[in-house]
Amino acid sequence: MKIFSVSIRSRFLWVILMFSVFCLAAPGPVSAEKGEVYVYNWSEYMPDSVLSDFQKETGIKVVYTTYDSNEAMFAKVKLLEGGGYDLVFPSTYFVDRMGKEGLLQPLDKSRVPNLKHLDPGLLDKPYDPGNAYSVPYLWGSTAIGYNSAYVDKGKVTSWNDLWDPAYKGRVLLTNDLREVFGMGLKVLGYSGNDTDPAHIEAAYEKLRTLMPNVRLFASDSPKLPFLNQEVTIGMIWNGEIYMASRENSQIGYIYPKEGAMLWMDSMVIPKGARNTANAHAFINYLLRPVVAKTISEEIGYASPNSAALKLMAPEVRNNPVVYPDAETVQKGEFQVDVGEAILVYQKYWEKLKAGQ
Ligand code: SPD
């Protein structure tokens, strides 16, 4: 019995030894060799195939997590003092804020040759002169989504239509204070980037009257309440409607006459990022025209990559939900940083959501 157990133990030790020798000699799992890149992105904002293809090609493991608002991302990055993530995707007005708060590190452009594919008209903007910190990823709009099984789409022309009592308990709003207040300000004839506290308060009073219609605030996957018919109309991002309409053709998108809200999300490397070489490699990969094309075609947001546009399927390139025409862009308003006024927005946002 003793001999038997010694023999079992020695066989076990031999197996462990051989396994260790094999692990040392054979090429290990690629991620162990090339390391990782910690990516923190908006939900539903990158096809899984892009992550797995990058991983396969480079051996860099993408550790991918998501958020549903700029505010949530900002709070987390700030809490971690710019560490914890190697790449995040703030909207322009948060690039500004994160830069001012010292949460970003400058890009090493020599590691990102594919920057040459970006539309120069979308670079060197006041929120980041010279693109010292940020690289455009996707841009898009916030307008009105509807389900024509319940909504007469011919009658929807304005943000004001969301106040129609016919939509009691059937309206979705993004869980995004700048967008919800942007709409409130616009229906009152102000800019969606207004900084006057009296105007923001007036928007709050107007939005309070919308609350009986509001079923939910959702930004994680706002297409789902449309698909499961929990809501019939609402404020939503273009890509969400693009994805939802592939599953249900009665779901569509309308640009209101007051103008849509327009935004751009960019890639930035937080100050405390540990895997900066991998972050640059991932940015460069995402800027590869064929990759940027796939992203835009799959999730329905507009690419700032001119070379990708040339490769894009015409049904996507000519789809006004994904690529609004010049007049719609002209009528829309790009969101910008509102500085200290954000505190006023936040105060009324909390009151609105608390039903006060
Ligand atoms: N699911 C992806 C949503 C991206 C939204 N980006 C910007 C919102 C700006 N208020």
* CATH classification at residue 187: 3.40.190.10
Count of CB atoms within 10 A of residue 341's CB?
Answer: 16
Q: Is 128 in the pocket of ligand 1 (CB under 6 A)?
A: no
Cα of 42 vs centre of ligand 1, distance in Å, is 7
d(CA 85, CA 351) in angstroms, rounded, equals 32
Cα torsion at 348, 349, 352, 356 (round to 10°)?
A: -50
Give the mean pLDDT of 321-341.
95
Domain assignment of residue 25, yes or no: no
Give the mean pLDDT of 69-98.
94
Q: Could you tell which of 89, 178, 265, 336 is best to mutate to test the pocket of ligand 1, judged by most ligand atoms within 8 Å of the CB?
A: 265
- Report the pLDDT value the prediction gives residue 25, as an integer from 0 to 100: 37
- Report the pLDDT value the prediction gives residue 29, as an integer from 0 to 100: 39
Domain assignment of residue 294, yes or no: yes
Domain assignment of residue 4, yes or no: no
Residue 110 token pair = 């020599």
Instruction: Tell whether 158 and 54 lie within a shared domain.
Output: no
Structure confidence by residue, pLDDT tens digits, 153-164: 999 999 999 999
- Report the pLDDT value the prediction gives residue 83, as an integer from 0 to 100: 87
Instruction: Tell whether 255 and 282 lie within a shared domain.
Output: no
Instruction: Tell whether 207 and 276 lie within a shared domain.
Output: no
Instruction: Tell whether 124 and 272 lie within a shared domain.
Output: yes
Going by their DSSP bridges, the two strands 251-254 and 134-147 should be labelled as antiparallel
Cα of 258 vs centre of ligand 1, distance in Å, is 20
Instruction: Tell whether 185 and 287 lie within a shared domain.
Output: no
Of 64, 68, 88, the residue nearest 78 (C-alpha): 88
Q: Could you tell me what percent of the chain has a pLDDT over 90?
A: 89
SS3 at position 328: helix
Cα of 154 vs centre of ligand 1, distance in Å, is 27
CB 279 within 8 A of CB 37: yes
Number of domains the chain is built from: 2
Average pLDDT, the chain: 92
Domain assignment of residue 110, yes or no: yes
Domain assignment of residue 14, yes or no: no
Instruction: Tell whether 113 and 165 lie within a shared domain.
Output: no
Give the mean pLDDT of 279-292.
98
Instruction: Tell whether 285 and 258 lie within a shared domain.
Output: no
Of 244, 236, 259, 254, the residue nearest 328 (C-alpha): 259
CA angle 313, 317, 321 (to 5 degrees): 125
Structure confidence by residue, pLDDT tens digits, 68-83: 999 999 999 999 988 8
Q: Is 68 in the pocket of ligand 1 (CB under 6 A)?
A: no
Q: Is 92 in the pocket of ligand 1 (CB under 6 A)?
A: no
Query: How buried is residue 213: exposed, middle or buried, by Cβ count under 10 Å (0-12/13-18/19+)?
Result: buried
Stretch among 26-40, 175-189, 192-206, 278-292 having the lowest mean pLDDT: 26-40
Task: Check whether 325 has a pLDDT greater than 80.
Answer: yes
Task: Check whether 181 has a pLDDT greater than 70.
Answer: yes
Domain assignment of residue 57, yes or no: yes
d(CA 194, CA 177) in angstroms, rounded, equals 13
Q: Is 42 in the pocket of ligand 1 (CB under 6 A)?
A: yes
Instruction: Tell whether 122 and 180 lie within a shared domain.
Output: no
Domain assignment of residue 19, yes or no: no
Reported confidence tier of residue 33, pLDDT bands at 50, 70, 90: low
Q: Is 337 in the pocket of ligand 1 (CB under 6 A)?
A: no
CB 341 within 8 A of CB 177: no
- Report the pLDDT value the prediction gives residue 229, as an integer from 0 to 100: 97
Task: Supply the range of the domain harboring residue 58.
Answer: 31-139+264-326
Instruction: Tell whether 313 and 340 lie within a shared domain.
Output: no
> pTM score > 0.85 for this model?
yes
- Report the pLDDT value the prediction gives residue 81, as an integer from 0 to 100: 85
Instruction: Tell whether 38 and 121 lie within a shared domain.
Output: yes
Instruction: Tell whether 131 and 147 lie within a shared domain.
Output: no
Count of CB atoms within 10 A of residue 259's CB?
Answer: 20
d(CA 236, CA 177) in angstroms, rounded, equals 13
Domain assignment of residue 347, yes or no: yes
d(CA 104, CA 270) in angstroms, rounded, equals 4
Sorted by sequence, the CB contacts under 8 Å of residue 145 that are 6+ apart come out as: 172, 222, 226, 233, 234, 235, 236, 240, 241, 244, 251, 252, 253
Instruction: Tell whether 114 and 231 lie within a shared domain.
Output: no
